[in-house]
A and B are shown apart, each in its own frame.
Chain A
């Protein structure tokens, strides 16, 4: 969804070293934020103040470089001016990867390509894409980029989900402000508590508390669900008193080689544990 939308606002110049895949392009753009943004800005503010009638002014923004071009100057002269300007600033830019946008002139596809060539020819800059200069579009694009950056920081179902690798033994407890994924078993006497949901890639025989803050939309998924206690939001369920059922269950799991992954969720003030299915996941 995001790549598709984003694609619409990027006019990518057909150069071999241009990255055509939006995903990569955005990844590149993201890196721009960490280049010498402030230094470039300071350098160009000085230029801007000195001479208003320069043929080319380089400004930088969060995403890369913004070139303000003289409207009246013949194109080949402008090209020379751009070449000179970028040669001067080469030290600033080093080998940054940038997106470029132009302002002040209506450029043909060919002119644009020539400008790009001039820039890359005189500096070590790598230009990832060209952005059309339109404030509306820019706002939209910024939003998309910020969304994407957020999703990069939180690549899992809930932002800041914790990973725990290893078996949790009796007396061990892990807690999280968000969600937890445990790659291992949770033994009797161990507990996993989270404000969000809990996924256990192993057997749960201990205590699991999801949605600690009272969030009843939280859920618990486990490869083998056999907890002593399970809590979702404020609903607490305990294992059946008679050990009979548990024993029978274990025997049946032995017969069927591997246990069925199950999901526990809150419904009408009760905790339901059901085999994990696609339909069920869609409902949650």
Chain B
């Protein structure tokens, strides 16, 4: 991220390229809303066994993240699950 990068950004061609890469990552990884709903429900089922979670506030999404092995962005499943209480009954 040097001065050259800042300069490069001004070209709409490069802007287009970067935007496209992001869009395509999510396009390629995207799954149907029904499938997302299924995943969400199963996550709730599993975690509820161990913890008391706020199912209303639960949010799962497919996003992209920097790959560790340096091949750019890779898709990632991000879940944000608010916990109310950790059950000790188990």
- A–B direct touch in complex (beta carbons closer than 8 A): no
